[in-house]
Chain A
Amino acid sequence: MEPILECRGLEKQYGKGVQALRGINLTLSKGRIVGLLGPNGSGKSTLIKLCNGLLTPTAGSLSIQGQPVGPQTKLSVSYLPDRSYLNDWMRVEELVHFFADFYSNFDTAKAYDMLQRLGINPRDRLKALSKGNQEKVQLILVMSRQVPLYLLDEPIGGVDPAARDYILNTILSNYSEDSTILLSTHLIADVEKILDDVIFLKQGEVVLSSPVDQLREEHRMSVDALFREVFKC
């Protein structure tokens, strides 16, 4: 089966000296929820940005559905960045329209449905919303696309535990069986129950990549506990 995402010897160096990623070899297959786990500064965001073409690799190759990153792969990837990236003067409904205009795989009805369930008024301007609601709008837009690969960078980083559950449920209920989700976070306990696979990233290197079940069997501990052991300071 063709992998959805494949990295071979992927390296990223920022300026002189700062090596964010070194020799990453990774293969993600279809229909998996993969946790990209690691402490701050381990290269999680760098890897995700490389997959989106927002950064250029220093060395190595990266392909999505067998293709190098480009307009075609951008249509098949739905990306949630770790920051606010929407024009905040636009109304929520204008943003929905923007996404529908550019992404042929965007489901407008689904987006409005989720907005309504979260009590967000589509007529509001983005900057009039609270920070938490702005993040939810961003997540709704990203999850309203039907794509083979979702790349979610810290989707639960800045929200309270109640909202965390809602967001995870949104993610779970809005992706199809064939899709793959790569989700980066350091809040492992919260996401552990939904993950199929985990990748541990430490100082720009993959130190562990394995299905969660196998991990639990081998080490006889939860992913959270294992993480604390691997990344002990």
Chain B
Amino acid sequence: MLSKLLKYEFKATGRAFLPLYGALLALAVINNLLFRIDGAGFPQTHEVSRISTAIGVLLYVLLIMAIFVLTVVVMIQRFYKNLLSEEGYLMFTLPVRTWQLISSKLIASMVWIVLSCAVTFLSIFIMAVNHGFSLSDLPRILETLSREIFQILDLNMAVIFLELFCLGIVGIAEFILVIYASIAVGQLFPHHRYLGAFGAFLAFGAINQVLTTFLTISGSVYITANEIQFTYYAGFFNMAFGLMLLYSLFWVVVCFLLTNYILSRKLNLA
């Protein structure tokens, strides 16, 4: 059932994202060409090409902003509108479990956030190709990065990148689930759903602040008190990533369970 829910979730959200992704990539190609004309420096086309290049870049930046705003708006709207307004009458009468509904929204939103980032990077590469950059430079850049930074610090670049990637993915899930949980908590106040959701979001933020401050301070005190020495940077990085990952996972689990509890035990559709 989860795969069916996902299929319809991607169908419903893809209509908004795919055209924008297409537009961004097309604009990147156009900008690349505009840079070429501009770079060629024909005297008679100089002004015109300057202006069109500027417009192209402006549009490009606006489009990227639009994509990221859309990513967040769709994430909230799909959860609120599809589950908690009229469409919820359909979704909550399907023979599926509540955790499957939440998971389908979560997974789809995560995929779109990752794709939005990927498409943005891809568009930057497309624009930069043949302007002092070619794809064959990529391995050389990574190699330089590894030699100049990671090897000096005695770190494994692949491991660090993998850890960053995991942290990013869990971080995205945390970001989405905190918003889902806030909206769900808002449902507990039938007359003040928006206010309740906003208050819950602020409360989650405050709890997060207090917890991180407390954990950081107690962590430093522990390290100082026990005179723990990090002889390798790798040890420190692995520990830091591990702890941050655990902390994010804690929020992921708490927010998922809370959302699931409210939507399955306390559901009251308007």
Contact = CB atoms under 8 A, between A and B. Distances in A.
Interface of A: 14-15, 49, 52-56, 71-72, 74-75, 77, 79, 81, 83-87, 89, 98, 101-103
B86 A84 contact: yes
Nearest to B265: A56
Contacts of A77: 93
19 contacts: A53-B92, A53-B93, A53-B267, A54-B89, A54-B93, A54-B269, A55-B267, A55-B268, A56-B265, A56-B266, A56-B267, A56-B268, A72-B95, A74-B94, A81-B89, A86-B90, A87-B87, A98-B8, A103-B94
Which 10 pairs from chain A and chain B are nearest by CB?
A85-B89, A75-B95, A74-B95, A81-B89, A85-B90, A54-B269, A71-B95, A102-B94, A85-B86, A79-B93
Interface in B167-218: 190-191
Nearest to A151: B93
B12 interface: yes
A89 B78 CA distance: 14
Interface in B238-269: 265-269
Contacts, number: 61
Contacts of A49: 269
B270 to A, nearest CB: 10
A10 B241 CA distance: 51
A74 B93 contact: yes
Given A54-B88, A75-B95, A89-B15, 16 more contacts: A49-B269, A52-B93, A54-B89, A55-B268, A55-B269, A56-B265, A72-B95, A79-B89, A83-B89, A85-B86, A85-B87, A85-B90, A101-B4, A101-B8, A102-B1, A102-B95
- Residue in B89, B94, B266 whose Cβ sees the most chain A Cβ within 10 Å: B89
B122 interface: no
Question: Considering residues B4, B95, B268, which has the most beta carbons from chain A within 10 angstroms of its beta carbon?
Answer: B95
